[in-house]
Structure formats: C-alpha cells, structure tokens
Amino acid sequence: MSTQNALSTILVEKINNDTLVLPTLPAIALKVRKAADDPDINLNAMGEVIGQDPSLSARMIKIANSAYMGRSVKVTSISQAVTRIGLRQIKNISTALAMEQLFVSKNDVVARYLQQEWANTVNIVSSAMAVLQLYIARTKNREMSMDTMTLAALVHNIGVLPILTEAERHPEVFANPTFLEVAIDQLSGRIGASIMREWGFGDSFVNVAKNWKDLSYLPDNLSYIDFVRVGAAVSGAAGSQKDAILNLAIQRGVVEDMGELHSDEFEELSSAAKQIFL
C-alpha cells in the first residue's frame, strides 16, 4: 500500500471507528460561549469572563476600535469593548479570536504547515468579510451577520488539523507533500463537519466545513458558504475551481461583477478585516 493510501486508510478507519482525536476549542472560547448562552448574563459579567484572558481582552478592544466596527471614538477598556460589540456578537467574535491557539504544534515541520494554514485562513476570512460588506452595502440585505461570517470562514478548513496531527507520525508524508494534499482534499470536509458537531456548532458551520469545496452543493438561498468560496477564490486557495466559483458568485448575486473584487474599496475592507487577526 502506498504511503498516500496508507494515511487516507488510517484516517478513514479512525473516522469510522470514532477514534480520530478532534481538536477542542480553547478554554477561554468555551467559557465565553457558555456565558453567552446564559439568558441572565449581562455586559459587565461578560466583560469579567473575557477579562480572565489578557490576550483575548486586548484583541477584543482592538476589534472594538477597528474599521470593522465602523466607529471613530476609541474604547480603552474591556467593558467598553463588550458594550460596543454587544452580547449577540461576542460569542462568535471571541471564538474567532481564540482560534489561532489551535494552529500550533511542538513539531517544527507540523508547526510550519499550521502557520501557513493559519495565514491562508486569515486571507480567506478577510476576503470573505470584505465581500459580505460589499454585498450588504449593495443590496441592503442584512440577514447574514459579520461575526458569523468571520467564524464560518475561520473554521471552513478546520478538518486539516487532525490530518496534520495524524500525518505527524509519518515523516515520509511531509517529505512528499502530495501525499498530505490528497488526504486533505479527500477527508478534510468530512472531518471538519465532525469537529463542528463535536463543538456544538449549528448547521451553517457544519455545511461550510463539509461542503465548501463541493460546488455541487448549492443552498437554495445565499449562505455563508457562498462568501467563504469567493474568499478562497480571491485568496488563491480555490485552485482550479477559482473560475467556477467566481462565475457562480455572479450568477447567485454574491458579487455584481468581477470589478468589485479588484476595487480599492474591496482592498481597503479586506485589509481592515485582516488587521483584526494580526
């Protein structure tokens, strides 16, 4: 059996036997999500939860002051940041900001792959956010929220994490990246969907993680997966599917024309979104 097939076979067997080790959400994200689900939570109590993590606190203040929030008056405390962002958005935004903690490894080779994966993901996220902002400005349709879009784009390729962990046991896989790419292409969607269910995320997130590469999957109405796909195409992560994705985007009304994606406004929005994660 080839190494390529061996890795895929091992992964499939572990998926089927429910023995594949899935990543867990960072502890602070779990705390914030649990607090946000408490019907009696208030802004002060949420600020105290977030304040337990200095890094998340600093990044939450940063996002409250960013162009993403569209405010000119700066906030300087976590309580002000939470008030500005609001309880409805805190749950997804805090989870999104904590996600980077998952893309680390003590193995140098795996760490390099994860760093590249995180960089690619941030590019896709920022592009998807910019596309949604342009869509809302053009159509005045606000059914989709920016915080959910952000998190959906961040977890779209989360299925690669267990694959990289498993591949770490097979040095020859990293010596020939084609082996790894085949396993990722074949299995990351299925694994990603399992992770979303394990984390208790809704169908929107499951569908993005499972189906974003499968262009035969077309929801009746526009959904976050449409914007994630365009983000991937614009960021160069869609490979040979780029043209098909962009054609679909026009047909489905995600963008009006390709000029939108080459405009100064798109570049400014995308750059502003990326700053959240830097």
Write the pLDDT tens digit of every residue in 128-181: 999 999 999 999 988 888 889 999 999 999 999 999 988 888 777 887 788 888
* C-alpha R_g of the chain: 19
CA distance 268 to 168: 38
> Within this chain, do residues 27 and 77 fall inside the same structural domain, yes or no?
yes
> Within this chain, do residues 227 and 143 fall inside the same structural domain, yes or no?
yes
| Domain of residue 238, residue span | 103-278
Query: In this structure, what is the dihedral angle of CA atoms 34, 38, 42, 45, given to the nearest 10 degrees?
Result: -40
Are residues 245 and 229 in contact, defined by beta-carbon separation less than 8 angstroms? yes
> Within this chain, do residues 156 and 39 fall inside the same structural domain, yes or no?
no
**Contact residues for 238 (Cβ-Cβ < 8 A; gap 6+):** 229, 232, 245
Segment 232-246 mean pLDDT: 92
Among candidate residues 47, 71, 102, the one where a domain is terminated: 102
> Within this chain, do residues 97 and 122 fall inside the same structural domain, yes or no?
no
Give the residue with greater pLDDT, 84 vs 217: 217
What pLDDT sits at residue 62? 85
Among candidate residues 43, 71, 102, the one where a domain is terminated: 102
What pLDDT sits at residue 16? 82
Q: Is the full-model pTM beyond 0.75?
A: yes
What pLDDT sits at residue 120? 94
Among candidate residues 102, 131, 157, the one where a domain is terminated: 102
The answer to whether residue 248 scores a pLDDT higher than 90 is yes
> Within this chain, do residues 63 and 29 fall inside the same structural domain, yes or no?
yes
> Within this chain, do residues 251 and 122 fall inside the same structural domain, yes or no?
yes
| DSSP 8-class letter at 101 | G
> Within this chain, do residues 91 and 125 fall inside the same structural domain, yes or no?
no
The helix (run of H) or strand (run of E) holding residue 238 is: none
User: What's the one-letter identity of residue 33?
Assistant: R
CATH code, 189: 1.10.3210.10
> Within this chain, do residues 165 and 235 fall inside the same structural domain, yes or no?
yes
What pLDDT sits at residue 98? 85
Both tokens of residue 225? 């997966």
> Within this chain, do residues 98 and 149 fall inside the same structural domain, yes or no?
no
User: 43 falls in which pLDDT band (50, 70, 90)?
Assistant: confident
Q: What's the structural domain count of the chain?
A: 2
CA distance 77 to 236: 37
45-97: pLDDT as tens digits: 988 999 888 888 888 888 888 766 666 678 888 888 888 888 778 888 888 88
30 in any annotated domain:
yes
Segment 241-264 mean pLDDT: 93
The helix (run of H) or strand (run of E) holding residue 26 is: none
249 in any annotated domain:
yes
